[in-house]
Amino acid sequence: MPTAEPHISLIVPAYNEENYLARTLQGVNQAKEAYRDPSSIEVVVVNNMSTDRTELVARSHGAQVLVEEKRCIAAVRNRGVRGSFGRIVAFLDADSLVSRNVFNAIQETMMSGKYIGGSTNVKLDRMSVGLFATMCLTVFPARLLFGVSGGLFFTERSTFHELGGFDERSYCAEDSAFLLALRKHGRRLRRGFRVLKNEVTITSSRSFDRFGDWYYLLNLPRILLHGGSRAFQSREFCNRYWYNPDR
């Protein structure tokens, strides 16, 4: 355990991310240096049984490394929380770039006492007609209807435990389910969910590069026919339509 309790624990799940993780952690380290107390930011990479140099890359950039054997992204995120110590827990994908002031914005938000948690805005690293159409039917409605956004998201550790963490029955979209539950919990407590308007997380479009820019949009009917959100509790379905089929 750290000698001084960290303010913020950033959890980064990783499976065979050697080609993306270095750039992600470089951005995180720049954001740490911009924070008023860089030593109080704890960066935890949770290695989900990678077969490449993911762990080496993480350690070489100063991150703590934990291991989770269960092939379930929700379990990987939960492992990161169990193995970290910050009062605030934040979550970032291994292929995403954070803005330089993000940790200051998180601390300011949570210290105000007005918010149950929050997130940054999210932006893809490239855009096309297919990607824009996909965002119009997924990301934008989540922001407009529910007031939540993806990218990097955060809450207090105590709140995370009150909500029971991420649902390990789900093999994908666990972050969306958690954010909606967090928002609902905040309404009960009369605390808002804050989207950091000036902080943008740029995320990789690599899945679209692999499957095609229209892939996820065209497969929305498959999700509905498979039972809607219950489809995300099928590992076979998620591997076929969400992740690498060979995983």
Kindly list the domain boundaries of the chain, sorted by start residue. Answer: 8-124+150-205
The CATH class, in words, for 8-124+150-205 is alpha beta
- Tens of pLDDT, residue by residue over 110-130, are 999 999 999 999 999 999 998
Neighbours of 187 (CB within 10 A): 13
The whole-number average pLDDT for the span 209-227 is 76
Q: CB neighbours of 116 closer than 8 A, spacing ≥ 6? A: 155, 156, 159, 182, 183, 185, 186, 189, 191, 192, 193
Burial status of residue 235 (CB atoms within 10 A of its CB: 0-12, 13-18, 19 or more): middle
- Tens of pLDDT, residue by residue over 71-115, are 999 999 999 999 999 999 999 999 999 999 999 999 999 999 999
pLDDT at 147: 56
- Tens of pLDDT, residue by residue over 156-185, are 999 999 999 999 988 777 898 999 999 999
- Tens of pLDDT, residue by residue over 201-210, are 999 988 888 8
DSSP string, 193-221: EEEEEEEEEEE--HHHHHH-TTHHHHTHH
